């Protein structure tokens, strides 16, 4: 182990904060360090030296590594160990082809339902510990720096409704409606007829309880349904997909947008809000982080660069109208979630188990760090199904309800 000790000391000296490291038969670093790592097996020294933090995270979940210290400092260390995953982990053409085939095979209706259940049906009470009161599980919109998480989530819901130009009497569809935040906000504040779908049994039951409690049974519906099975006989005026398309799979991306086109009336608008890759050739986060998230958090989740997303959107027959990057907003959102979980660790363990809590501690803080550094991003893409008629819209040739300026969003 003497060779490892010298290499480890060099790595620790270059880190952005003090780190103490202990393993069977050895120790290194500063005794009273900001971050303390205990490796219960010496074999994890190799992962530390090579920057494979996904392996270390996996070992932490299994109890083979223990971590002490604030999560921001832990992630500062992790970021330095990884380097630049966007630059260093670009996939080859062969890997991209293999990934496309893998994506096609793992996104059947049954597999998608099981993958969604794996993540979203962990425990409603567990998510309630660290989400806002509406349980909005997607990037918030901090319109000003003083906003709380709850205020920023309401600002996000309203931002989406304004972009979609929701109005009373419209038929509005929410794909992957979660715990109903946007669905209920749109119905109560904009008077739309709102229909939501989810593959999560817990979310389906929760939202239907809220619909009854708020007396919205005549205007709001929530269905346990795959988006591919939505009937197309009654078109929608507006569609939102918020934090859902990451589960679709790159192999299905064109058909996903084509399905949305078929569900929209000519001239109707759709908002696709979701996570995108930081690099053009990165299929997942580097340093083993993507594999960790696949195993413990989001099985079946896949990321594309926004350029690939917009290409698929166009191939699906939609016209891109407006794109907004909310990457730093998601970093702040995730840190708020991470802080919320850190404040309730004992309760979280009682609701779930130690492995789940450890996995989510790494996932939330790791994703916050990844958004801060631009390794992943978040885009709101507003698009339309062109009507083909020059006279439609507020401007001749618009072919949709979009006014071709942003002023209406901010009035």
What residues are labeled active site?
367
The values of phi and psi at residue 28, to 5°, are -155, 165
Cα–Cα distance for residue pair 298/288, rounded to 1 Å: 14
Q: Which of 2, 39, 3 shows the shortest CA–CA distance to 24? A: 39
Closest CA to 361 of 15, 122, 60: 60
Give the SS3 label for residue 135: coil
Q: How far apart, in whole angstroms, are the C-alpha atoms of residue 220 and residue 333?
A: 28
Tokens, residue 15: 């880190």
Task: Find all residues with CB under 8 Å of 282, minimum gap 6, and list them.
Answer: 85, 86, 89, 90, 91, 303, 305
DSSP SS3 for 233:
coil
* DSSP code string of 300-330: T----BHHHHHHHHHHTT-EEEEEEE-HHHH
Angle between helices 201-213 and 109-120 (to 10 degrees): 70
Token pair for 205: 């039951």
CA angle 401, 163, 276 (to 5 degrees): 115
Residue indicated by tokens 């990934």: 99
In degrees rounded to 5, what are phi and psi of residue 271? Answer: -110, 120
Per 3-state DSSP, the chain is made up of helix, strand and coil in percentages (nearest 5) of 50, 20, 35
Q: How far apart are CA 178 and CA 120, in angstroms?
A: 9
Cα 6 → chain centroid: 39
- Name which of 140, 139, 190 is nearest 167 in CA terms: 190
Whether 124 contacts 206, CB under 8 Å: yes
Q: How far apart are CA 242 and CA 220, in angstroms?
A: 18
């Amino acid at each position: 182990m003497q060779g490892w000790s010298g290499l480890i000391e060099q790595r620790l000296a270059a880190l952005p904060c003090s780190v103490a490291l202990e393993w069977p038969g050895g120790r290194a670093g500063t005794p009273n360090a900001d971050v303390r790592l205990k490796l219960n097996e010496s074999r994890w020294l190799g992962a530390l030296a090579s920057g494979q933090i996904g392996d270390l995270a996996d070992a932490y979940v299994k109890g083979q590594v223990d971590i002490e210290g604030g999560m921001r400092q832990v992630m500062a260390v992790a970021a330095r160990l990884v380097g630049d995953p966007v630059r260093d982990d670009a996939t080859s053409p062969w890997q991209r082809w293999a990934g496309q085939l893998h994506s096609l095979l793992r996104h059947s209706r049954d597999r998608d339902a099981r993958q969604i259940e794996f993540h979203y049906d962990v425990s409603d009470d567990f998510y309630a510990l660290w989400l806002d009161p509406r349980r909005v599980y997607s990037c918030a919109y901090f319109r000003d720096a003083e906003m709380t998480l709850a205020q920023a989530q309401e600002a996000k819901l309203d931002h989406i409704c304004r972009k979609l130009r929701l109005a009373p009497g419209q038929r509005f569809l929410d794909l992957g409606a979660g715990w109903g935040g946007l669905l209920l906000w749109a119905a109560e504040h904009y008077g739309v007829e709102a229909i939501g779908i989810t593959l999560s049994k817990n979310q389906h039951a929760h939202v239907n309880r809220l619909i009854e409690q708020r007396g919205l049974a005549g205007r709001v519906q929530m269905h346990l349904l795959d988006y591919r099975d939505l009937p197309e006989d009654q078109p929608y005026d507006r569609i939102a997909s918020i934090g859902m398309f990451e589960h679709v799979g790159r192999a299905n991306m064109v058909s996903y947008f084509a399905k949305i086109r078929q569900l929209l009336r000519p001239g109707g608008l759709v908002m696709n809000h979701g996570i995108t890759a930081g690099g053009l050739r990165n299929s997942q986060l580097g340093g083993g982080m993507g594999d960790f998230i696949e195993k413990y958090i989001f099985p079946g989740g896949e990321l594309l660069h926004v350029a690939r997303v917009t290409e698929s959107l166009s191939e699906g027959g939609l016209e891109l109208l407006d794109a907004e990057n909310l990457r730093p907003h998601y970093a702040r959102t995730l840190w708020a979630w991470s802080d919320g979980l850190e404040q309730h660790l004992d309760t979280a363990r009682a609701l779930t188990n130690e492995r789940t809590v450890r996995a989510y501690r790494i996932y939330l803080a790791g994703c916050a760090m990844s958004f801060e550094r631009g390794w992943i991003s978040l885009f709101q893409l507003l698009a339309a199904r062109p009507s083909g008629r020059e006279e439609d819209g507020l401007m001749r040739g618009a072919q949709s309800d979009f006014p071709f300026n942003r002023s209406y969003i901010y009035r």
